[in-house]
Amino acid sequence: MKNFIKKIIDNDIKNGLSINKLKFRFSPEPNGFLHIGHIKSLYINFKLSKIYNSKINLRFDDTNPNNINKYYVNNIIKDIKWLGFKYNKICYTSNYFNILYKWAIKLIKLKKAYIQKFKNNKIYNIYNIKKNIYIFKNMKIGKYNENTYVLRAKINMKSKNFYLNDPIMYRIIKKPHFRTNNKWYIYPTYDWAHGQSDYIEKITHSLCSIEFQNHKLLYNWFIKNIYNKKFNKIIPKQIEFSRLNIIDSITSKRKLKILKKKKIIKNYYDPRLCTISSFKKKGYKPNFLINFIKKIGYSKRENNISINKLDIEIKKKLINKSNKLMVIINPIKITIINYPKNKIKWIKLNNNKKIPFTKKIYIEKKDFKKNKSKNFFRLNKINYVRLKYSFIIKLYKIKKKKIYCKIYNKNKINKYKIKSTIQWISNKYFKYINILFYKYIYFKKNKIINLNTIKKKKALSDITINNIKNNKIYQFHRIGFFYLYKKNFFKKILLFKKKKKK
RNA sequence: AGACUCGUUGUGUAAUGGUAGCACAUCAGAUUUUGGUUCUGAUAGUUAAGGUUCAAAUCCUUACGAGUCUACCA
């Protein structure tokens, strides 16, 4: 891996940072499910920890009890485990509420933090240290209502950087926290909690997405002002990279919540989403997602990536490796006129299984065209067509809307005249299967695209399906890849794109 | 409007001031019992102008364009 993040770290090592001290962290807020964008952050952090053989924490940024809950914590842990990333320790920002509180008092005493009071639509700044501490302690134990007091850092109200305009460190939130319960009635803001948590955990490089770059000055200011040599010598460094921006799916929690609110999706396992939980359920393997993330790389540039790129990576993984089935989604029946009526010929497949060939068979509707047309290589009056694993046929006649074909001896036909091979199924020996098709939901200019796109379709499969296993991925000949999630029920993984050929 | 950040073929990403490379996409040819696959080749790029330098994608200045933020969310 060569990129700007590694360069920064290597440079720090060159300048005296001990390589043994390197430590990273993945720090989600437990307010939703992880999605494909989080894998970008996961991958870079875990990859770096692997390269440098350094420690890495999973830290839940649980500062705001209004947003978070334990359900999300458990789900995030499950998803990370499924992806195969191994961290050293699970941490919670809420573990540090005590020490953050102590540091806040220290800043008050240093006149670097002060209480602001709101009463009758008026704002009062309180600068007396004793008064500040008295109010702050009462805020903590729940003596005041929400929106009456805040604790602000005293930096520079005149700064053009908004984040340095005396940012809020604590606000009153009268809601129990799933870990600390009713112990606290004040909660630290992101800016006051995050860098300090990094400092407490001795994180050396704190990677985050680009929207936090505005916070960097503040991040550094807080750490500078609570820095204590005896406590920890290492000053963490915030490094930003651009977030994954998928143009044709959703990675924004806000948008996911809109979909749930509008009851378009029931939960975050919906196959039209790109949450990790959804991918898991659709039969994707972790390495599909990780390969995709590897390919897109890291930078600070705004990027626009199509979720198609994921399909490309998956195709590479699966192609020529999956078990195959012949499946017909929209069948039409054809009759072979020069094949005996009751004869069953057992045709050997590549995997040594056998399927029966009979006088009447089904083929895909799209593989037949009555009239000749340019660039159509499949069944019509002119083309010789190979039935996969089997005979060469050509359209003989159409009578009373019934299609009659004739088998030709393959030795008598020029090899190059056979331009296509299609799948087929005996009309007597087949199995019904169910397939779920869906597309990703996304937003375009705040409009939701691809609604109601889960389609259930019945299809016909060859009889080798009797012996296949659930929870595996199968390739449907010429259609795509599908995941068998219960007996005779498949979910789409990807469809083959058809290319035009002259 | 300001603050911060970023501009490299269509897309994504490399190039420590010294040959602008790679992947995907696209197009062509070959291969093929999947219009799939595989192989070969081609097209195409440093936002612009100026400066520093023997030498600039890289450093500096200006312009232009894009993004993020301007919350008691993270």
Give the nucleotide nearest to A212 (CA→C1'): B68
The per-residue pLDDT for range A252-295, each reduced to its tens digit, is 888 898 899 899 999 999 999 999 999 999 999 999 999 999 99
For the cut 90, the answer to whether the pLDDT of residue A320 exceeds it is: no
Does residue A500 surpass a pLDDT of 80? no
**Which secondary-structure segment (H or E) carries A359?**
none
Mean pLDDT, residues A422-439 taken together: 96
Alpha carbon distance A92, A87 (integer Å): 14
CB of A149 closer than 8 Å to CB of A115: yes
Strands, sheet with A113-119, edge to edge from the N-terminal-most edge strand? A122-126, A113-119, A149-153, A168-172, A186-188
Residues A197-242 pLDDT 10s: 999 999 999 999 999 999 999 999 999 999 999 999 999 999 999 9
Mean pLDDT of A474-494: 96
Helix or strand (DSSP H, E) at A68: none
Tell me the pLDDT tens digit for each residue of A96-148. 999 999 999 999 999 999 999 999 989 999 999 999 999 999 999 999 999 99
3 state SS of A60: strand
Q: Residue A206 has which token pair? A: 């704190």
Query: Cα–Cα distance between A301 and A314 in angstroms, integer?
Result: 25
Where on strand B do bases come within 7 A of a protein Cβ? Answer: 2-8, 11-15, 23-29, 33-38, 66-74
Tell me how far apart the alpha carbons of residues A262 and A278 are, in angstroms, rounded to a whole number: 19
Could you tell me if A29 and A38 are in contact, meaning their C-beta atoms sit under 8 angstroms apart? Answer: no
Nucleotide whose C1' lies closest to the alpha carbon of residue A324: B34
Band of the pLDDT at A494, cuts 50, 70, 90? very high
- Give the ipTM of the model, two decimals please: 0.93
What distance in Å separates the CA atoms of residue A77 and residue A84, rounded to the nearest whole number?
A: 11
Q: Is the pLDDT of residue A428 over 70?
A: yes
pLDDT at A235: 95
Cβ(A217)–Cβ(A164) below 8 Å: yes
- Lowest-pLDDT range, A187-191, A447-451, A461-465, A478-482? A447-451
Summarised one tens digit per residue, pLDDT across range A335-391 is 999 999 999 999 999 888 999 999 999 999 999 998 878 788 899 888 899 999 999
The pLDDT tens digits for A392-422 are 999 999 999 999 999 998 888 777 788 899 9
- Whether the per-residue pLDDT at A5 is higher than 60: the answer is yes
Q: Distance (Å) from CA A134 to C1' B13? A: 55
Beta bridge partners of A480: A476, A495
Residue A346 CA: distances (Å) to CA of A42, A58, A352, A364: 51, 57, 11, 21
- pLDDT at A499 (0 to 100): 66
Q: How far is the CA of A84 from the C1' of B12 (A)?
A: 25
Report residue A1's pLDDT band, with 50, 70 and 90 as the boundaries: low
pLDDT digits 0-9 by tens, A138-177: 999 999 999 999 999 999 998 888 999 999 999 999 999 9
Domains of chain A: 98-188 (3.90.800.10), 332-343+354-426 (2.40.240.10)
Q: Confirm whether any atom of chain B, the nucleic acid strand, is less than 7 Å from CB of A172.
A: yes
Strands A323-325 and A345-348: unpaired
Per-residue pLDDT band for A502 (boundaries 50, 70, 90) equals very low
Establish whether the CB of A209 is closer than 7 Å to any nucleic acid atom in strand B.
no
| Nearest nucleotide by C1' position to the A216 CA atom | B4
Contact A356/A463 with Cβ under 8 angstroms? yes
Least confident of A2-16, A35-49, A459-473: A2-16
A265 φ, ψ (degrees, to nearest 5): -120, 150
Closest nt by CA–C1' to A478: B34
Question: Using the CB atom, is residue A404 less than 7 Å from strand B?
Answer: no
A480 sits in the region (left: phi over 0; alpha: psi -120 to 50; else beta) called left
Residues of chain A with pLDDT > 70, as a percent, come to 98
Question: Which uninterrupted H or E stretch holds A370?
Answer: none
